Amino acid sequence: MGPRIGPAGEGPQVPDKETKATMGTENTPGGKASPDPQDVRPSVFHNIKLFVLCHSLLQLAQLMISGYLKSSISTVEKRFGLSSQTSGLLVSFNEVGNTALIVFVSYFGSRVHRPRMIGYGAILVALAGLLMTLPHFISEPYRYDNTSPEDMPQDFKASLCLPTTSAPARTHSNGNCSSYTETRHLSVVGIMFVAQTLLGVGGVPIQPFGISYIDDFAHNSNSPLYLGILFAVTMMGPGLAFGLGSLMLRLYVDINQMPEGGISLTIKDPRWVGAWWLGFLIAAGSVALAAIPYFFFPKEMPKEKHELQFRRKVLAVTDSPARKDKDSPSKQSPGESTKKQDGLVQIAPNLTVIQFIKVFPRVLLQTLRHPIFLLVVLSQVCLSSMAAGMATFLPKFLERQFSITASYANLLIGCLSFPSVIVGIVVGGVLVKRLHLGPVGCGALCLLGMLLCLFFSLPLFFIGCPSHQIAGITHQTSAQPRPELFPSCMEVCSCPSDGFNPVCDPSTRVEYITPCHAGCSSQVVQDALDKSQVFYTNCSCVAEGNPVMAGSCDSTCSHLVVPFLLLVSLGSALACLTHTPSFMLILRGVKKEDKTLAVGIQFMFLRILAWMPSPVIHGSAIDTTCVHWALSCGRRAVCRYYNNDLLRNRFIGLQFFFKTGSVICFALVLAILRQQDKEARTKESRSSPAVAQQLLVSGPGKKPEDSRV
């Protein structure tokens, strides 16, 4: 087959001579392709069912490793001092490598050994996953209190109020800055960007080559079932990624090099950093194991000869004589069949790569002239932008908005959000099939689903928690706290400007950045049955000198996270109702010979306009709600505190904006389809008298050739 723009799984494949010899077994007596010994005694890998099983497991593992970073995005930010904009850009680099090469992978089609190419791509994905863990091993151990000297426990007297004369004895992280430190930080971040790019590059051949391989060698009636199984298993990958993230983030980041005295942090402490890197090791190992069978599958295998028994019985009952006339594919003459195949691929003849690149812009503009296609793709761009932002930053949003742990946020998302997405896609497909929806019906279903999604998004603006009262920060307009912003009671202390060891006054529910900012000069540890509680006493900035507890103040509305996520999941399911009908609108909105190209252009636009920029846009919006940034060597690092009301309004507002854009596009699609349907009916009614007159002239026993509309 010639070059194609979309994924290689879309549209027919034209194999070479060897492939034709094996694919022709379906129509030969006895189903034997050739006397070749390999075909007489085929190995276990000459079985398309085994390939479907292996490919389902591989795509499951691939989506698990691709989605794992999203489950630990806030942890990576805290560990390496990244802003949300930078972490969003890191996630987007997965699509950069994928988008750059997907066109050329589709061009090669069946010219290469597809199973081996899939295996090579999977090995590259596994290596990229291992590369993502490298920053953990080359970085120094995580110090959750950077004011601590090396020879004492990290939390012991590190953040207490010391006399001003003792200030030189206190170490500051900015004092340890050097060109080597900055270079090391840049190299660590650069390694993660390279690893994300390689993840995208390695994933390029996996899905297109796998789908096309199944479509080529499965029986024509069994291919949809196999692809449905593949899709169903693959969709569990992101959910497993968040489940894996929930487990790994409960472990301390330096579990492989714990300090001698242990750590005094709990998983609820805002300084806690989980073992984000361990999930990448597990996922990379899964991908590597799933890649092994692909090096044993043949380049071509005999085409499957038997269809499913229940499908054969159904066709035997429902097949009518009308299906066996000259319009039936089984009764077409060789010339007609060849002509039809030529029409399907006439847009992409056998061109060289250079000719293919030259002709692509003209073909792209020609395809974009279809108004239905353009509007549906724009609507899907809005939906994909919403999905990309939600998948990347929803865990972090739940952590900050409802003061829950990263592990619990991932567990809720994996159990509620992703299953609702699968349910929405399946229900949308069932409705299209059961109701026999045409283009107008598909457009109406898409519009109805998005209107309901928009309606259930409105309560999300009002479900959330207020911001904590942070002494010296909450009511300030500047994101950078200055010494004069804090109470005068701490003037005698030499508090570090970049310290972070939050404490809470339980009587007033006011939070202080460190015990020093609360004026506390001593520490008390109370041992309990299950855990020990740290208190700081002699606090000059606290009313009546009451002791303060270590850790952030508990939120009074953390229980609202479940109804919030239920509404998010319901909206996701309603939005996913549009998946199948919108895809049908694309296939029915262009010419038959343009379908393969249209699907390819659709995926290209979704990557370029949605999956690449959306995480950066959402990350930038989140950064604008920060009220206190941590500093690292004088530069802005991770955000310590957000304005929760601004965070909720801007994050949900951005989602609402994309949903509104999708509603507008689907409304225009439905209006155009109704107008086209009205014009078609008017034309049909005008032609009816002429048809009746022709019937009278022809006589009762004769029908005109062109009487069908």
pLDDT one-digit tens code per residue, 194-209: 999 999 999 888 888 8
The better pLDDT of the pair 587, 413 is held by 413
Distances (CA, A) of 90 to 171, 239, 633, 638: 32, 21, 22, 15
- Give the C-alpha separation, 359 to 363, whole Å: 6
Give per-residue pLDDT as tens, 557-569: 889 999 999 999 9
User: Where does the pLDDT of residue 684 fall: very low under 50, low under 70, confident under 90, or very high at 90 and above?
Assistant: confident
- Give the C-alpha separation, 77 to 259, whole Å: 22
Give percent above pLDDT 70 in the chain: 72
Bridge partners of 536?
Answer: 523, 548
Nearest to 606 by CA among 102, 203, 238, 109: 102
What are the sequence ranges of the domains in the chain? Answer: 42-141+181-305, 366-464+556-684, 501-553
Q: Is 97 helix (H, G, I), strand (E, B) or coil?
A: helix
In this predicted structure, the answer to whether residue 459 has a pLDDT above a threshold of 90 is yes
- Give the C-alpha separation, 391 to 421, whole Å: 12
Burial class of residue 405 in the structure, from the number of CB atoms within 10 Å of its CB (0-12 exposed, 13-18 middle, 19+ buried): buried
Average pLDDT for 205-228: 81
- Give the C-alpha separation, 568 to 401, whole Å: 14
Residue 388 near residue 610 (C-beta atoms within 8 A)? yes
Give per-residue pLDDT as tens, 402-411: 999 999 999 9
Burial class of residue 141 in the structure, from the number of CB atoms within 10 Å of its CB (0-12 exposed, 13-18 middle, 19+ buried): exposed
Distances (CA, A) of 617 to 84, 611, 646, 647: 10, 11, 16, 14
Which helix or strand (DSSP H or E) is residue 631 part of?
A: strand 626-632
Which helix or strand (DSSP H or E) is residue 357 part of?
A: helix 353-368
Q: What is the pLDDT of residue 552?
A: 87
The better pLDDT of the pair 705, 229 is held by 229
In this predicted structure, the answer to whether residue 340 has a pLDDT above a threshold of 90 is no
Q: What is the pLDDT of residue 234?
A: 86
Nearest to 243 by CA among 388, 393, 70: 70
Question: Which position has the token pair 């009220």?
Answer: 627
Residue 568 near residue 460 (C-beta atoms within 8 A)? yes
The better pLDDT of the pair 591, 643 is held by 643
Answer yes or no: same fold for 42-141+181-305 and 366-464+556-684.
yes
In this predicted structure, the answer to whether residue 308 has a pLDDT above a threshold of 60 is no
Give per-residue pLDDT as tens, 230-266: 888 888 889 999 999 999 999 999 888 877 667 778 8
Question: Which position has the token pair 């060897």?
Answer: 18
User: Where does the pLDDT of residue 593 fall: very low under 50, low under 70, confident under 90, or very high at 90 and above?
Assistant: low
Q: What is the DSSP secondary structure assignment for residue 496, as one 8-state letter?
A: -
**Strand 532-537, strand 548-550: pairing:** antiparallel
Q: Which amino acid is at 432?
A: V
Sheet hosting strand 548-550, strand order edge to edge:
469-470, 510-512, 503-505, 548-550, 532-537, 522-527
Q: Among 289-293, 320-324, 392-396, whose mean pLDDT is lowest?
A: 320-324
Residue 11 near residue 596 (C-beta atoms within 8 A)? yes
Give the count of beta carbons closer than 10 Å to the beta carbon of residue 591.
Answer: 13
Query: If you average pLDDT over each of 188-202, 228-242, 525-539, 586-600, which comes out highest?
Result: 188-202
Residue 405 near residue 274 (C-beta atoms within 8 A)? no
User: Where does the pLDDT of residue 515 fall: very low under 50, low under 70, confident under 90, or very high at 90 and above?
Assistant: confident
Residue 365 near residue 359 (C-beta atoms within 8 A)? no
Nearest to 644 by CA among 396, 299, 356: 396
User: Where does the pLDDT of residue 686 fall: very low under 50, low under 70, confident under 90, or very high at 90 and above?
Assistant: confident
b/e 462-491 (16+ beta carbons within 10 angstroms → b): ebbbebbebbbbeeeeebebeeeebeeebe
Average pLDDT for 284-312: 82
The better pLDDT of the pair 695, 27 is held by 695
Average pLDDT for 393-404: 93
Which helix or strand (DSSP H or E) is residue 526 part of?
A: strand 522-527
In this predicted structure, the answer to whether residue 5 has a pLDDT above a threshold of 50 is no
Average pLDDT for 435-450: 91
Q: What are phi and psi of 12, to 5 degrees?
A: -75, 155
In this predicted structure, the answer to whether residue 705 has a pLDDT above a threshold of 80 is no
Q: What is the pLDDT of residue 569?
A: 95
Query: If you average pLDDT over each of 42-56, 140-154, 467-481, 662-676, which comes out highest?
Result: 662-676
Average pLDDT for 63-79: 92
The CATH architecture annotation of domain 366-464+556-684 reads Up-down Bundle (1.20)
Give percent above pLDDT 90 in the chain: 35
Q: Among 383-397, 565-579, 677-691, whose mean pLDDT is lowest?
A: 677-691
Distances (CA, A) of 591 to 243, 344, 346, 415, 676: 43, 9, 12, 41, 16
> In whole numbers, what is the pLDDT of the chain averaged over residues?
78
Query: If you average pLDDT over each of 17-31, 170-184, 424-438, which comes out highest?
Result: 424-438
In this predicted structure, the answer to whether residue 331 has a pLDDT above a threshold of 70 is no
Give per-residue pLDDT as tens, 21-59: 444 444 444 444 444 444 445 678 888 889 999 999 999
- Give the C-alpha separation, 606 to 381, whole Å: 5
Q: Which amino acid is at 263?
A: I
DSSP characters over 245-272: HHHHTTSBTTTTS--TT-----TTSTT-
Q: What are phi and psi of 536, to 5 degrees?
A: -115, 135
Give the count of beta carbons closer than 10 Å to the beta carbon of residue 636.
Answer: 15
In this predicted structure, the answer to whether residue 62 has a pLDDT above a threshold of 90 is yes
Nearest to 394 by CA among 241, 210, 184: 241
Residue 196 near residue 91 (C-beta atoms within 8 A)? yes
CATH of domain 42-141+181-305: 1.20.1250.20
Give per-residue pLDDT as tens, 100-137: 776 666 556 557 788 999 999 999 999 999 999 999 99
In this predicted structure, the answer to whether residue 336 has a pLDDT above a threshold of 90 is no
Q: Which amino acid is at 353?
A: V
Residue 94 near residue 268 (C-beta atoms within 8 A)? no
- Give the C-alpha separation, 364 to 368, whole Å: 6
